Structure 1
Amino acid sequence: MIAAFVVIPVLAGGLVWISKNKFFIHAINLIGASGLLVLSILSLININKYKVISSSGLFKNIFYMDSLSGYILFITTLAFFLVSLYSISYFGQELKNKVITIRKLKLYYSLSNAFVLSMILALTTRNMGVMWISIEATTLASAFLVGFYNNKRAIEAAWKYLIICSVGITFALLGIILLFYSSTVKLGGARISGMDWSYLIKYASALDPSILKIAFIFILIGFGTKVGFSPMHTWLPDAHSQAPSPVSALLSGVLLNTAMYGVIRVMSIVNKCLGSSNYTGNLLIVLSVLSIGTAAVFILVQQDYKRILAYSSIEHMGIIALGLGVCTPISIFAALYHTFNHAMTKLMLFLATGNVYLKHHTKKISSIRGLIKTMPVTGIVFVLGTFAITGMPPFGVFMSEFNTVVGTIFSKRYIVTALLLIFLSMVFAGFTKQLGKMFYGNNSNPQIKKGEIDIIGPAVLIILLCITVLAGIYIPVPFKELMENTTDIILGIGG
């Protein structure tokens, strides 16, 4: 089953080149994305039944999935499926307007499949070296997607993204080398075992704590750069704002989660070695508060609606890191829940910006008025999405943020709680002040006619809106059990 996760994107990314028919190209990619989603659901069923699933034979020590990897993989494949469906609408219009060619469409689908394949490999391996290579591969694949339009600003953003994340990932490599060194010096044994995170966490208590502390700092900086933690976040606003909207949705909704996954795996090893989460927790809390605060300040002054959403991603990854840093059952459950809620809500918002851009051909907030009148479905979903991402009920983000606040209060981190509430209030004020201008009033451009671009784009937005509302009022029992099992793995009492 795990092998199929690799085969499907390779086939889909290759088969798009055998025809010049746009319907065939869209269909091949959508079929591949659907297959990955079905496989991830089947994997979750098997994980709930057997706890873990792994490959045998030649790849026995490489491919492995438990509740944590299965959970992030499900979010990834669900997001990829919805983005693939939306891409039919978005790039269909780009073709119609002659912004791109058929060859460019093929390139987009090949790169997006390579991008998803690299994330799948990172999530389905228990070898730290393979995980590092896969996360670095996400940078290479997505850099071309960031610079997809080949204009000056897009190319500048792609280079900035490539350089900063490559430097960051080098720090992560140093951390992984230290992990390997610690295991071989203290435990000996087969060399490949020293790169196996399941082996490392099993024997974590025997590892050298001083080496692991240094290793965690390097890995937190390295993977944290890819997550978008402040002050290593500077690539993120440019990349998100210049990439095509479907790419921005994948960057925000799933790429950041994959990098956070690497932090979580190492955090669990270090916590078990030290017998406490205080060391890793304090580092994560400092970065989380700094990231949320940075995002809150910059959101207040942005004039580009995609850059506002980009800074919002920094904020929400900070909230996830805060839940992990507090490291209690309720806070970790909240962090996992927030991972799903943020992915779906940000997916909805970035795809909504795609509709807006196709209609208005600008990213400037000051150039758009009366969005609810000109694009009723997109406008209404965008308004509701704005309330959702800022933590208003009854949406999923409200529930996971509320549980995060409860977790910080129960852990007696009152100053952190106060700062969190202040920054969340600033974010809400920034969103409503800046984006609120777009939705109301009268459209001043007579060339903008009332109506949506097509049916598919708004349909995907409505699906995502239903998911975000449902996540705020109900968690299906199997999904709740999955997150509880994942919480146990992170706490070192399951897996």
Structure 2
Amino acid sequence: MNIELLLFLILIVPLIISGLIWFLKKDLKILTSIHLGGAIIEAILGLAAVASVVNGKTYFIFDQMLFLDAVGGVFVTLIAITGVLVNIYSIKYMQWQVESAHITEKDVKLFFSLSHLFIFTMTFSVLANNIVLMWVAIEATTLSSVFMVAINKGKKSTESAWKYIVICSIGLAFALYATVLLYSAGFSVINDSHSTMLWTTLMSHAKEINSDALKLIFVFALIGFGTKAGFAPTHTWLPDVHSEGPAPASAMLSGILLKCALLGLVRYYAIVGNSTLGFEFVQSVMIVSGLLTVFVAALFLIKQHDVKRMFAYHSIAHMGVIAVGLGFGGFLGIFAALFHTLAHSFTKALAFCVTGNIQKIYGTRNMEKMGGMIKIAPITAILFGIAVCSLVGVPGFAIFVSEFYIIQEAISSGGYIPVALFIIGLIIIFIADFSHYNLATFGQSKTEVQCGEVERKANAPLIALAALIIIFGIFTVDSWVSLLNSAVKIIIGV
């Protein structure tokens, strides 16, 4: 298939599926079939597009306003794989919610429609070469996902949805300032209104752009996109939103959305790094931001017994890990940061979907009231354990690989104090997580168990996620490594 047509299709298909679900009658069998079929088609198209840029090629459509390069390919991979597996899980999860009268069939229809619209906005943000369109798309991800968070219509979920809109919109206003300032600084060099908005053109003229302006631009971009990505201290929306939304929505928000916001920051990181400033400035800022984020999350994790809030704080912690990787920089550090986006995407999608199982089994999110999961629901307990082991960086799981590379780059570059602080933060997270995991998995349950192990259809996509976590933790996936190598070369301007 022609790559230009393919890029068009990965944008238009989610919109078509969303519209179909929206306008069809409330027949759950038909809606479920379209939702499932659409998710699979979107994943196939996305991975087919990524295959075209593995070796570093770049393709443009719509007068270069949209494009796909290896950097974007990394994030399209997350949208394709994590998106399809979470959407498959959402079918059984929504069925449970309807059966328990938490939501209606009308709500399911809305959720399925919004999930594909959400896929569209995230894909649009990744494919945007025009920096204004990228900002618009990232802002649109908030609007398309906020109603997914508030689908239960409860007081807490509604409050968290409002908090999500307000804080992220204010944060993204700083990203808009960065966009306007970058356009202004770039136009004085490029002198063409269309080309000045293109990230590829700005990258090629980075050394000519005023260095003092770029410092301010990057700080604004960090505040703006960092708010949406969950960096401290503007992370406060994230624990509420990720804990109150339905499990599939939380999985999509944590597993994919945060990375799309991060991509916006990476685009600015690359421009400033390839300017006369070099990477020293952006790396220093990212190390400070990353370590602050890791420690804030680690300290909150110590006393966190709500399983969804625990995983929400892990979202913050691991965005900090990615920031630290970008902060140490170098080829290996950036490679590790990009690797971590995939490792964390699979792991957090698994983690939040497992909380859907746990809530059905126990009827509570409080791990102090759980217990005996290994006997009551052994498959869920094992999946829960795989998620926790990966999140804390146990060898043999995907996240260990990227964290090991980050530490290796830090030591080789002489960043002994930052890497020591980084390791301390990871140790705190390790201890906190396993103490919580033991509460839920072993001992006696302190609440009435609602049911035993969930259906095989519900666990199938979770088993697939767990398998991917182990595969990427043990084996070298050549195509993925080639894609990452190509992406790093683009970022560092090689």
Count of aligned residue pairs for this structure pair = 488
Q: Which residue of 2 aligns with 1:60?
A: 63
Q: CA deviation at 1:118?
A: 0.7
Q: C-alpha deviations, 1:37-77, integer Å up to 9, x for none?
A: 1111211222136701221xxx1221100001011011112
- 8 Å contact kept, 1:86–1:246: yes
The alignment status of 1:99 with 2:105, answered yes or no, reads no
Structure 1 residues 50 and 392: alpha-carbon distance in aligned structure 2, compared to 1, 3 A threshold: closer
Q: C-alpha deviations, 1:219-265, integer Å up to 9, x for none?
A: 11000000100001000000000000000001110001000000000
CA distance in 2 between counterparts of 1:156 and 1:364 reads 20
For residues 71-220 of structure 1, the aligned pairs below 5 Å read 71-188=74-191, 190-220=192-222
Q: Of residues 318, 321, 324 in structure 2, which corresponds to 1:319?
A: 321
Q: Of residues 38, 42, 51 in structure 1, which corresponds to 2:48?
A: 42
Q: Secondary structure at the match of 1:457?
A: helix
Q: Which residue of 2 aligns with 1:4?
A: 9
Q: Of residues 20, 29, 36 in structure 2, which corresponds to 1:23?
A: 29
- Give me the CA root mean square deviation: 1.2
Q: Secondary structure at the match of 1:273?
A: coil
Please identify, of 144-153 and 436-445, the stretch whose mean Cα deviation from structure 2 is larger.
436-445
Q: Which residue of 1 aligns with 2:275?
A: 273
- 8 Å contact kept, 2:50–2:76: no
CA distance in 2 between counterparts of 1:435 and 1:95 reads 29
- 8 Å contact kept, 2:47–2:80: no
- The code of the aligned residue for 1:483 comes to L
Please identify, of 264-273 and 46-55, the stretch whose mean Cα deviation from structure 2 is larger.
46-55
Q: Secondary structure at the match of 2:53?
A: helix
For residues 59-458 of structure 1, the aligned pairs below 5 Å read 59-188=62-191, 190-449=192-451, 451-458=452-459
CA distance in 2 between counterparts of 1:68 and 1:175 reads 21
Q: Secondary structure at the match of 1:448?
A: coil
- The code of the aligned residue for 1:238 comes to D
- 8 Å contact kept, 2:369–2:445: no
Q: C-alpha deviations, 1:423-468, integer Å up to 9, x for none?
A: 100001110112320101123445534x322112211221111111
- 8 Å contact kept, 2:370–2:444: no
The alignment status of 1:480 with 2:481, answered yes or no, reads yes
- 8 Å contact kept, 2:362–2:449: no
- 8 Å contact kept, 1:187–1:206: no
Q: CA deviation at 1:273?
A: 1.1
Q: C-alpha deviations, 1:391-449, integer Å up to 9, x for none?
A: 00111111111111111111111001110111100001110112320101123445534
- The code of the aligned residue for 1:14 comes to G
- The code of the aligned residue for 1:376 comes to P
- 8 Å contact kept, 1:165–1:226: yes
- The code of the aligned residue for 1:480 comes to V
CA distance in 2 between counterparts of 1:70 and 1:36 reads 14
Structure 1 residues 18 and 410: alpha-carbon distance in aligned structure 2, compared to 1, 3 A threshold: same
Q: Secondary structure at the match of 1:20?
A: coil
- 8 Å contact kept, 2:85–2:462: no
Relative to the length of structure 1, the TM-score reads 0.97
Give unmatched runs, 5+ long, in structure 1.
none
Q: CA deviation at 1:326?
A: 1.3
- The code of the aligned residue for 2:325 comes to G
- 8 Å contact kept, 2:226–2:261: yes
CA distance in 2 between counterparts of 1:60 and 1:85 reads 35
- The code of the aligned residue for 2:464 comes to I
- 8 Å contact kept, 1:147–1:155: yes
